[in-house]
Structure 1
Amino acid sequence: MIPLPPLDAHAHVDLAISSSELENLGAVVMIATRSLEDFKVVQDRKDLVSVWGVGCHPSLVGVQKAFNKAEFRLALKKTPFVAEVGLDGSSRVSLESQTETLQSILQEVCQQPRIISLHSYGATTMLVEVLKQEGVRPGRILHWWLGDEAETAEMLRLGCYFSVNYSMVRSSGVWSQIPLNRILLETDHPSGDRFSVRPRQPGSVIDIEAVLASKFGLTPNEIRLQCWRNFVEIVDSTETQAMMPIPVQRMIAAVRSAAK
């Protein structure tokens, strides 16, 4: 099997970054945007190893007010990835309004399945309730999850995956109850990698791989392969492989073939 690069399931990147700069990261990066307007700037890019998501960040008042369901529906046709969306308990936008927006997004993703990275800062209990109403659905990744043990168990029951960053794994926490077959890695650059080893950049997940390798009694390469397998399961469940960049499609196919 071809050597697999690091896989970063959630990062924030300057919209004006060049394709060559992204390729020089040496990683596959799933990039979250803040809004439909941000996504419009990047929706026609043809990056080889990066995937730009369409987002509606729950903490941004203007972004939440500007959300348009019809525009979001159209944006889904141009990306396999929805990020960053969710709920934020510290936002000046009411949780009621945030929930209405998120439910609209989830309804659209139900019709057009996509990989979806969900924000839940200060609102884990509310997000559990929203997802329980929807039932088990493919493609859900809980980004920087800080829920308690009971909430985490419920999210596992609902089929969710979890993207963990170095700020999470550098201390003990509920993340340690997540089974390896539900884990992806993220930098959440530039926030989640503030305590990471240098270089602090999208795709730099080697330090997280090392922590997980120690926890699960595996090598870092085995952790990377398992995270790729988890990613492939999500891609398959959402039927989004054809929307990925061609080199990423080849990596997905290689991981799938190696598992047979």
Structure 2
Amino acid sequence: MKYLIDTHFHLDHYKNYLEIADKVNLLQQYTIAVTNSPGVFLSCKNIFSDSKYLKFAIGFHPQEAHLKRADLNDFMKLANRTEFVGEVGLDYSKKTFMDPVFQKECFEEIIRFCAMNNKILTIHIRKAEEDAISILEKYKPKKAIIHWYTGNEDHLQQLLDLDCFFSINTNMVSGKNADKYRIIPINRILIESDGPYTKVKGKRYSPEMLLEAYSVIAEFYKDRDLIMHVYNNFKELLLL
């Protein structure tokens, strides 16, 4: 299925990452492999050859408490090596994560950079919706994808009003809070696996399951043409 797109995938979190990368290319599935730090991004770029189907995003994940100002400086130096940024964001859900004040400073710098340079970015938000929305309102990046959204419907609508896209995975549409995702218009939906952190019909995600994941999500949205709708949404995102 040459039109399948996975906008959020953690290749480096698989032990057999070389085999998984080969599988993505063999299946010809357009996949954005996010990273959690500029160091991991650089390692991935050194390990894997660029390909049509596998693209690497540079990340600065708020759960990575070890990241410091020097790492943000490295992020800014390396970010021009890719058009994809992620996983970045704000996460105030645990005290063991990056200091919230530092998180906010970094997130604002990254969003400003992405807005100025028109980067495609995938954003993680947990228990920090108001701060994230405030920063997105300030800089208005055109190519923002909200990954695995867990907030309330009011904040979801505010993000839609900012023209954000939302990447949907199988766990989201099968959980107890799934109904809130129905308010997302089809033209704002993208598909993510968040592999290896999701399951498809009870099995841990692997790239050969992407078509089945689309099927599960298509059933939730009652959209028989979801594959083409998502493909067209991603094309629109690229052209913004």
User: 1: CA distance between counterparts of 2:72 and 2:217?
Assistant: 40
User: 2: CA distance between counterparts of 1:196 and 1:67?
Assistant: 38
C-alpha distance 233-142 of structure 1, shift in aligned 2 (>3 A): same
Contact 2:196 2:204 in 1 (8 A): no
User: 2: CA distance between counterparts of 1:138 and 1:26?
Assistant: 27
| Alignment partner of 1:80 is 2:83 | yes
Structure 2: tracts of 5 or more residues without a match: none
User: 1: CA distance between counterparts of 2:208 and 2:22?
Assistant: 14
| Alignment partner of 1:6 is 2:13 | no
| Alignment partner of 1:190 is 2:187 | no
Contact 1:59 1:90 in 2 (8 A): no
Q: Which residue of 1 aligns with 2:121?
A: 116
User: 1: CA distance between counterparts of 2:78 and 2:43?
Assistant: 12
Q: Which residue of 2 aligns with 1:253?
A: none
Give the CA deviation at 1:170: 0.8
**What amino acid sits opposite 1:85 in the alignment?**
V
Q: Which residue of 2 aligns with 1:200?
A: 205
CA deviation profile, 1:203-235 (whole Å, cap 9, x unmatched): 63334422343344432xx10110011111111
User: 1: CA distance between counterparts of 2:102 and 2:130?
Assistant: 16
SS of the counterpart of 1:103?
helix
C-alpha distance 140-203 of structure 1, shift in aligned 2 (>3 A): farther
Contact 2:182 2:221 in 1 (8 A): no
| Alignment partner of 1:173 is 2:179 | yes
| Alignment partner of 1:103 is 2:112 | no
1:43-54 equivalent positions in 2, closer than 5 A: 43=45, 45-54=49-58
Q: Which residue of 2 aligns with 1:226?
A: 229
User: 1: CA distance between counterparts of 2:53 and 2:10?
Assistant: 15
Contact 1:143 1:164 in 2 (8 A): yes
Q: CA RMSD in A?
A: 2.2
Deviates more, 1:166-175 or 1:98-107: 166-175
| Alignment partner of 1:129 is 2:134 | yes
C-alpha distance 236-99 of structure 1, shift in aligned 2 (>3 A): same
| Alignment partner of 1:30 is 2:55 | no
Deviates more, 1:19-28 or 1:57-66: 19-28
Give the CA deviation at 1:199: 6.6
User: 2: CA distance between counterparts of 1:112 and 1:86?
Assistant: 18
What's the TM-score once normalised by structure 2's chain length? 0.86
Size of the alignment, in residue pairs? 230
**What amino acid sits opposite 2:10 in the alignment?**
H
**What amino acid sits opposite 2:90 in the alignment?**
L
Contact 2:122 2:146 in 1 (8 A): yes
Q: Which residue of 1 aligns with 2:238?
A: 235
CA deviation profile, 1:39-94 (whole Å, cap 9, x unmatched): 1112353123111000011101112454233x323322211110110011134322
Give the CA deviation at 1:164: 0.8
Give the fraction of aligned pairs with identical amino acids, expressed as a percent.
25
SS of the counterpart of 1:55?
strand
Structure 1: tracts of 5 or more residues without a match: 238-260
C-alpha distance 195-204 of structure 1, shift in aligned 2 (>3 A): closer
Whose strand fraction is larger, Structure 1's or Structure 2's? 2
Deviates more, 1:200-209 or 1:5-14: 200-209
